[in-house]
Amino acid sequence: MAKKMAKKRILSGMRPTGPLHLGNLHGALANWKKMQDHYDCFFFIADWHALTSDYDMTAPIQGYILEIFTDWLSVGLSPDKCTLFIQSHIKEHAELFLLLSMITPLPWLERNPTYKEQIAQLKNKDLSTFGFLGYPVLQAADIIMYKANGVPVGIDQAPHVELTREIARRFNYFYGDIFPVPETILTETPKILGIDRRKMSKSYDNAIFLSDTPKEVRSKVGQMITDPQRARRNDPGNPDVCNVFSFHQLYSDQKTIQRIDQACREAQIGCVECKQMMAENLIQALEPIRDQRSYYEAHPDTVRAIIEDGNRKAQAVAHNTMEQVRAAIKI
Ligand code: TRP
Ligand code: SF4
């Protein structure tokens, strides 16, 4: 009998900077959920990475970790199908980070576009630290530790994976062929925007969270900016530029979508009514996630056990890799 081909390994992570929102759900999470059925998946919470920018505000991180883990389980990431773990519990990441830092040329880090952009954007924050510059080196350690073949990330993270590829090649060149060079698997970002029409983000205070109650969802949907050209109820609207309509396309049935498309253009429906319909459909779509969440919130021991189990599995892989790495470097 032919031996079954080993599944390719996929790895990705999230920084614990707050609870997950609809942008995360339709971006990373939906993608991860599909992948768990076809790949050997490792997903983790990058809490050390959170420290690179939030080193002076560490108190909320523990809470966020638990919150995100609960979000993951609630949307259906399954501990039977993937390894879910927390970066800082696997100390090997720190060791590999240190070793990779020996071979990573500084100019590779200094020319990283994400790095330059963040330094420019977060002006009120001192990011001229060793740790922040080394962010992609730690990320490279996260990835190659598990010999990942693919890394699903959004476009903003692509430079980091590119750097990981260069670091992996350099390691292999010096010490022998240990690491696969991982592919970037670009995740499509969802069309939906935040309630203010900017990119949905916790830091913009415009996000609808997976953990929001129906009441919170109704209130946020009520505040959503619609077609900015439609000032009065009698003005025809343009659903193509309306964020509420983008939500309808995700959460309402085809008939409703078509009806609204037409009614909006003919000023037959007002935005208030249109939003109300969308809010109810959104609430309904989120209900299974909310149900799962209340289950896990009522069973913190179960969540803890899942985390420990995932950490243990990740640890075993990391342990193995580091034995090979130390042997290769002869240290
Ligand atoms: N930098 C990633 C982000 O901010 C998080 C991350 C850390 C990551 N290590 C990783 C993502 C390894 C993919 C692979 O989203
Ligand atoms: Fe947007 Fe609906 Fe208002 Fe049209 S009616 S502009 S689709 S909210």
252-275 residue pLDDT tens? 999 999 999 999 999 999 999 999
> Cβ-count burial of 54 within 10 angstroms (0-12 exposed, 13-18 middle, 19+ buried)?
middle
Give me the CATH number covering residue 63. 3.40.50.620
Identify whether residues 182 and 321 lie together within a single domain.
Answer: yes
Calpha distance 137→156 (Å, rounded):
16
Residue 153: its H or E element:
strand 150-153
Show the domain range for 21: 9-192+300-329
SS (H, E, C) 176-207: CCCCCCCEEEECCCCCCCCCCCCCCCHHHCCC
Q: Tell me the average pLDDT of the chain.
A: 95
Identify whether residues 161 and 306 lie together within a single domain.
Answer: yes
- Report long-range pairs for 107-116 (Cβ below 8 Å, ≥24 apart): 108/163, 108/166, 108/167, 109/133, 109/134, 109/136, 109/137, 109/163, 112/136, 112/159, 112/160, 112/163, 113/159, 114/156, 114/157, 114/159, 114/160
pLDDT of residue 71: 97
Residue 109, pLDDT > 60, answer yes
Index of the ligand 1 atom closest to the CA of residue 11:
14
Per-residue pLDDT band for 331 (boundaries 50, 70, 90) equals: very high
Residue 18, pLDDT > 90, answer yes
Cα dihedral across residues 72, 75, 80, 81: positive or negative: negative
pLDDT of residue 4: 67
Identify whether residues 220 and 74 lie together within a single domain.
Answer: no
Q: Is residue 208 part of a domain?
A: no
Identify whether residues 55 and 139 lie together within a single domain.
Answer: yes
Identify whether residues 54 and 172 lie together within a single domain.
Answer: yes
pLDDT of residue 123: 82
Q: Which two tokens stand for residue 209?
A: 């969270």
Calpha distance 294→299 (Å, rounded):
9
With beta carbons less than 8 A apart as the criterion, state whether 182 and 149 touch: yes
Q: 0.85 cut: is pTM over it? A: yes
Per-residue pLDDT band for 114 (boundaries 50, 70, 90) equals: confident
Calpha distance 217→279 (Å, rounded):
7
Residue 5, pLDDT > 90, answer no
- Give the distance between the most distant pair of CA atoms in the chain: 76
Index of the ligand 2 atom closest to the CA of residue 275:
8
Q: Which residues' Cβ are closer than 6 Å to ligand 2?
A: 226-227, 230, 237, 239, 242, 244-245, 260, 264, 269, 271, 274-275
Calpha distance 293→298 (Å, rounded):
9
How many structural domains compose the chain?
2
Identify whether residues 172 and 87 lie together within a single domain.
Answer: yes
Give me the CATH number covering residue 233. 1.10.240.10
Percent of the residues in the chain that have a pLDDT greater than 70, as a whole number: 99
Per-residue pLDDT tens over the stretch 151-168? 999 998 999 999 999 999
The residue whose CA is least distant from atom 5 of ligand 2 is 271
Residue 3, pLDDT > 70, answer no
Per-residue pLDDT band for 191 (boundaries 50, 70, 90) equals: confident
Residue 2, pLDDT > 60, answer no
Mean pLDDT across 208-215: 97
The residue whose CA is least distant from atom 11 of ligand 1 is 13
pLDDT of residue 118: 84
Selection from 260, 256, 281 nearest residue 269 by Cα: 260
Per-residue pLDDT tens over the stretch 227-248? 999 989 999 999 999 999 999 9
Identify whether residues 269 and 178 lie together within a single domain.
Answer: no
Using the mean position of ligand 2's atoms as its centre, give its distance from the Cα of residue 239 in Å.
Answer: 6
Identify whether residues 24 and 77 lie together within a single domain.
Answer: yes
pLDDT of residue 1: 52
Using the mean position of ligand 2's atoms as its centre, give its distance from the Cα of residue 250 in Å.
Answer: 15
